[in-house]
Amino acid sequence: MGNILADIRLRIATPADAADIAEMSRRLIEAGLGWSWTRQRVEHAIRNADTLVMTAVHDNSIVGFAIMDFGDETAHLSLFAVRESFQRQGLGLRMFEWMKSSALTAGIALVRLELRTANLGARAFYRVLGFIETGHAVGYYRGRENALRMVLDLRKTVKR
């Protein structure tokens, strides 16, 4: 098997991608919590000028996606997922570097996110990217699960 990353294209999401992204969110992120990132909500994010929705595409199928909302100096990484069969191959890192570059171009200083406290794999991934833990939110996920809050200071990642 060759380098699968070479066959994956990163691109801005289109409204036609909303249903696939929503389904991936339901299966990979929101499992057991109900479904808040529906096709309509994802499509709204795609159409929002202050939100960046990107996809990773392999053989015309979405295998990863990210949704980041941009403020004046702070961005919020709302969703980030890579299909299981494409994990641990560098795709998540490649996707995040693309998102980080976009954030830096937009003048963003901090990227914030929340994740399930029990999601140790995601926690380790974000630590590798340079995120630090900043606190917890009790009952963050529909009152059922706690969240870990993390932040990345982009000013510390830029070489001067």
- pTM for this prediction: 0.90
Length of the chain: 160
Q: What is the spatial distance between Cα 120 and Cα 61, in angstroms, rounded to a whole number? A: 27
- Over residues 55-89, the pLDDT tens digits come to 999 999 999 999 999 999 999 999 999 998 898 88
pLDDT at 28 over 90: no
Q: What is the pLDDT of residue 62?
A: 96
Distance between first and last Cα of the chain:
39
Q: What is the spatial distance between Cα 26 and Cα 32, in angstroms, rounded to a whole number? A: 9
Q: What is the pLDDT of residue 66?
A: 97
> Mean pLDDT, the chain, as a whole number?
89
State the Rg of the chain over Cα.
Answer: 15
Buried b (16+ CB within 10 A) or exposed e, 41-61: bbbebbeeeebbbbbbbbeee
Q: What is the spatial distance between Cα 137 and Cα 98, in angstroms, rounded to a whole number? A: 28
Q: What is the pLDDT of residue 146?
A: 78
- Which backbone phi and psi does 155 adopt, to 5 degrees? -65, -30
- Over residues 99-135, the pLDDT tens digits come to 999 999 999 999 999 998 888 889 999 999 999 999 8
Q: What is the pLDDT of residue 85?
A: 87
Instruction: Using a pLDDT cut of 70, give the percent of the chain over it.
Output: 91
**Helix 39-47, helix 18-28: angle, nearest 10:** 120
DSSP run (H or E) holding 109: none
pLDDT at 2 over 60: no
pLDDT at 145 over 90: no
